[in-house]
Amino acid sequence: MSGASPGYHTTHLGNPHERATMATYNVGYFVGSLSSASINRVLSKALIRLAPDDLEFTELPVGNLPLYSPDYDADFPPEARALKEAISASDAILIVSPEYNRSIPGALKNALDWASRPWGQNSFDNMPAAVIGASIGQIGTAMAQQSLRGVLSFCNARQMTTPEAYIQYSPEVFTDDGEIRNESTRDFLSNYMEEFRTYIERVLTVIPRPQSSPG
Ligand code: FNR
């Protein structure tokens, strides 16, 4: 990560003689599903396509982690250390998740638990964050998102509260690689990502990310 301010990347734009620069934000995103046919992965692709140009995205994998136990606190395994380092290199977190039994899928909750520990090294402290999800049912992951908000709140993440986005997935609207055929859905999700970008900027203006430490 480079740039004049902590948490900011510098991108050169246009004519190299002008050397115009703009801040970009690195968004670490979780997909809360391990399914190879995940509709939430499709949603994540759609969101990345629609996002403002100054957001860059890095997936934070959840499927390679052992089950968290405090027994690991003295010596985290490499996968968990990698997760914490990737979050530390992020300026903001986006969670794109299904709802499982009206709550958070276990693999995602496990990843969040890893990232919140060991005690005193909570990776989400003051992190700009947003949640979104797609379901085949009509409530569009509302209950899972409510549970996620409780977790992020306890972890002292700075959550975007509005707009909310509860997506009822339809294969007629989303293509597998994240194109959206329906204009109103496309506009809604574009606006969601634009608002998230504005929100990240606001939070980081007041609470800059700490400089991530090497290795
Ligand atoms: C579900 N599904 C589901 N849907 C919902 O709207 N509310 C729920 O509580 C649940 N619970 C639930 C539990 C389990 C174990 C599974 C496997 C599924 C259905 C869910 O919306 C659907 O399977 C989505 O396709 C899951 O998202 P991904 O994995 O495709 O991203």
pLDDT value of residue 21: 56
Quick: pLDDT tens for 34-87: 999 999 999 999 999 999 999 999 999 999 999 999 999 999 999 999 999 999
**Backbone CA torsion sign across 169, 96, 33, 110:** negative
Kindly report the protein residue whose alpha carbon is nearest to atom 14 of ligand 1.
100
Pocket of ligand 1 (CB under 6 A): 33, 35, 38-40, 98-102, 135-137
Give the mean pLDDT of the chain. 91
Average of per-residue pLDDT across 126-138:
97
Of 182, 202, 183, 205, nearest in space to 194 by CA: 202
DSSP H/E element including 194: helix 183-206
Query: Amino acid letter at 69?
Result: S
pLDDT value of residue 23: 81
Phi, psi of 121 (to 5 degrees): -125, 45
Query: Amino acid letter at 158?
Result: R
Q: What is the pTM of this model?
A: 0.91
Cα(127) to ligand 1 centroid in Å equals: 27
Residue 98 Cα: closest atom of ligand 1: 27
